[in-house]
């Protein structure tokens, strides 16, 4: 009984993950056990907190005294009431113990920073601010919207002359950038119109090259004058798949000066790598390249078409997967949509759930073989830094087995030949770290095989299409 109690948490997590794919494991013999055990629950299994900030953990479903502890006080501390404080960058396991039962939350302490602390832009111009070193949600605010506005993605736009403070809030932490907006630069009469244009594709560099002419208003105007060009690319569904604002004098494009019919002209070339072009689910048709003059100049748009398409981006394929699941997926008990299948050969269940609240996919594999249940879950965000967290849980009540482990997986390098290192949070006596690593990696490889089949069967996509570029 001590062994069973020690891994009650792992069992709850395992069976909760399995329960969210209804039908796939409807005959699970542990269903009644889950219903009884799920009353005691830690509010977070993973948490992120900034250095110096706090996050509150709580254990529901029990009136007994809870004892809190941390695996590293140098990384994060925890009070007797479950208040976790970030001390320095790193990871620590926070444990809530009730009697002999333990509930673990993996806390990551972050040290976010803002890309600029001061900035200067013209009225009508835009600047993108970014917050680095965080996986938490960032909210943006301008102290004076009459001077400059900011979007939810950190895009600052100058409105009128003055100074304002742009604030990025991450949890309880605030990062600021002082933005000075200058008078709108004079851009009239810099460019008269856009002349001849052409497009070609360079196989060696795997990039599209857009050529066009800018006819200047006089022989004195220099390319370093104020103003910008906007280059847009539209797919055959008239959806924007590429946009770039090009500033004069900042080497954003190549150009050559020439004179034609007494007018000073610039022959310009913009090189666009395939990897920068997002085309979503579109795989055939033409791309239309639009070169648009800046506000205050002529509004003429020139379009060039090319009969080849660049590589589909992982981000857009993930968006295509999201759209597919939202349209065709079934609803689980949490109101989330999912796709799934159960292998007729071995009874293993595989599912992909779209979590709209966090814009995240949950890839889940569950199995029940001879009374031993195992679950693998991988959380993949549409926007991520190239790593995903993998959770592995194994519970075998009759055999006295239990393993709970987590790992960070690099989506650009992982394949079936690669073994990753799991952080073993808990295991029964007799299960060595080497055993836990072996069984967790074996289950993960089986999960990828099933996810690959499910993904292709339902959407026609491969794992490499959604960012797992080295997956074979």
What 3-state DSSP class applies to 460? Answer: coil
Dihedral sign (CA 87, 13, 320, 388): positive
Cα gap 276→438, rounded to integer Å: 39
Out of 54-58, 117-121, 171-175, 289-293, pick the least confident.
289-293
Which pLDDT tens digit goes with each residue over 393-409? 888 766 678 899 999 88
Residue 79, domain member (yes or no): yes
Verify that 273 and 378 share a domain, yes or no: no
Verify that 449 and 338 share a domain, yes or no: yes
Cα gap 151→314, rounded to integer Å: 24
8 Å CB contact between 240 and 234: yes
8 Å CB contact between 377 and 16: no
Verify that 167 and 274 share a domain, yes or no: no
In the chain, what are the helix, strand and coil shares in percent, each to the nearest 5?
15, 45, 40
- pLDDT band per the 50, 70, 90 thresholds, residue 90: very high
- Rounded mean pLDDT of 252-270? 62
Verify that 272 and 325 share a domain, yes or no: no
Verify that 350 and 216 share a domain, yes or no: no
Which pLDDT tens digit goes with each residue over 265-306? 666 666 666 555 544 333 333 444 444 444 444 434 434 333
- Rounded mean pLDDT of 5-28? 43
Residue 78, domain member (yes or no): yes
Verify that 459 and 325 share a domain, yes or no: yes
φ/ψ of 172, rounded to 5, equals -100, -5
Would the pLDDT of 114 be above 50? Answer: yes
- Rounded mean pLDDT of 137-161? 91
CATH, residue 238: 2.60.40
Q: Which pLDDT score is estimated for 246?
A: 61
Out of 21-25, 60-64, 355-359, 398-402, pick the least confident.
21-25
Residue 305, domain member (yes or no): no
Helices (H), 380-431: none
Verify that 451 and 359 share a domain, yes or no: yes
Which of the pair, 362 or 371, is modelled with greater confidence?
Answer: 362
Which CA distances in Å does 101 have to 1, 97, 430? 12, 6, 19
Would the pLDDT of 215 be above 60? Answer: no
Residue 311, domain member (yes or no): no
Residue 92, domain member (yes or no): yes
CATH, residue 134: 2.60.40.1080
Domain extent at residue 214: 191-296
Verify that 263 and 340 share a domain, yes or no: no
Query: Residues with Cβ < 8 Å from 299, sequence gap 6 or more?
Result: 292, 293
Return the number of other C-beta atoms located less than 10 Å from residue 469's C-beta: 14
323: enclosing H helix or E strand? helix 314-328
Verify that 147 and 88 share a domain, yes or no: no
Verify that 175 and 198 share a domain, yes or no: no
Domain count, the chain: 3
Cα gap 2→182, rounded to integer Å: 70
Boundary residue ending a domain (296, 329, 360): 296
Query: If we measure between CA atoms, which residue out of 405, 400, 387 comes closest to residue 444?
Result: 405
Verify that 325 and 428 share a domain, yes or no: yes
Residue 391, domain member (yes or no): yes
Verify that 92 and 35 share a domain, yes or no: yes
Residue 312, domain member (yes or no): no
Would the pLDDT of 189 be above 50? Answer: no
Residue 306, domain member (yes or no): no
């Amino acid at each position: 009984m001590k062994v069973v109690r020690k891994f009650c948490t792992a069992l709850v997590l395992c069976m909760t993950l399995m329960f969210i794919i209804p039908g796939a494991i409807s005959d699970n013999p542990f269903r009644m056990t889950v219903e009884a055990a799920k009353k005691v629950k830690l509010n977070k299994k993973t948490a992120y907190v900034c250095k110096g900030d706090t996050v509150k953990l709580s254990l529901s479903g029990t009136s007994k005294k809870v004892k809190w502890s941390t695996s590293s006080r140098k990384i994060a501390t925890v009070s007797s009431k479950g208040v976790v404080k970030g001390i320095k960058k790193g990871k620590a396991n926070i444990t809530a113990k009730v009697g002999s039962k333990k509930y673990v939350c993996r806390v990551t302490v972050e040290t976010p920073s803002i890309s600029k602390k001061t900035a200067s832009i013209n009225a009508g111009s835009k600047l993108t601010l970014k917050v680095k070193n965080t996986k938490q949600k960032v909210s943006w605010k301008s102290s004076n919207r009459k001077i400059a506005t900011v979007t939810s993605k950190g895009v600052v736009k100058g409105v009128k002359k003055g100074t304002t403070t742009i604030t990025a809030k991450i949890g309880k932490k605030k990062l600021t950038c002082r933005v000075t907006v200058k008078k709108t630069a004079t851009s009239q009469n810099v460019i008269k119109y856009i002349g001849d244009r052409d497009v070609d594709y360079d196989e060696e560099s795997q990039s599209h090259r857009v050529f066009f002419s800018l006819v200047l208003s006089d022989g004195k105007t220099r390319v370093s004058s104020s103003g910008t060009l906007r280059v847009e690319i539209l797919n055959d569904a008239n959806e924007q798949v590429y946009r770039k604002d090009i500033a004069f004098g900042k080497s954003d494009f190549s150009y050559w000066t020439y004179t034609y019919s007494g007018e000073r002209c610039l022959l310009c070339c913009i090189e666009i790598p395939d990897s920068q072009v997002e085309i979503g689910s579109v795989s055939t048709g033409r791309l239309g390249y639009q070169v648009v003059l800046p506000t205050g100049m002529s509004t003429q748009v020139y379009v060039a078409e090319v009969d080849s398409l660049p590589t589909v981006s992982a981000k857009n394929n993930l968006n295509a997967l999201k759209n597919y699941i939202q349209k065709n997926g079934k609803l689980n008990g949490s109101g989330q949509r999912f796709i799934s299948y159960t292998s007729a050969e071995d009874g293993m269940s595989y599912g992909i759930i779209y979590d709209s609240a966090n814009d995240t996919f949950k890839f889940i594999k569950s199995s029940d073989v001879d009374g031993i249940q195992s679950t693998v879950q991988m959380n993949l965000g549409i926007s991520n830094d190239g790593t995903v967290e993998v959770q592995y849980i194994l519970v075998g009540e009759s055999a006295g087995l239990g393993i709970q482990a987590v790992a960070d997986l690099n989506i650009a390098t992982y394949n079936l030949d690669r073994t990753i290192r799991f952080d073993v949070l808990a295991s029964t006596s007799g299960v060595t770290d080497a055993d836990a690593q072996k069984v967790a990696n074996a289950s993960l490889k089986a999960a990828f095989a099933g996810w690959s089949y499910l993904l292709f069967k339902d959407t026609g996509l491969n794992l490499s299409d959604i960012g797992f570029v080295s997956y074979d």
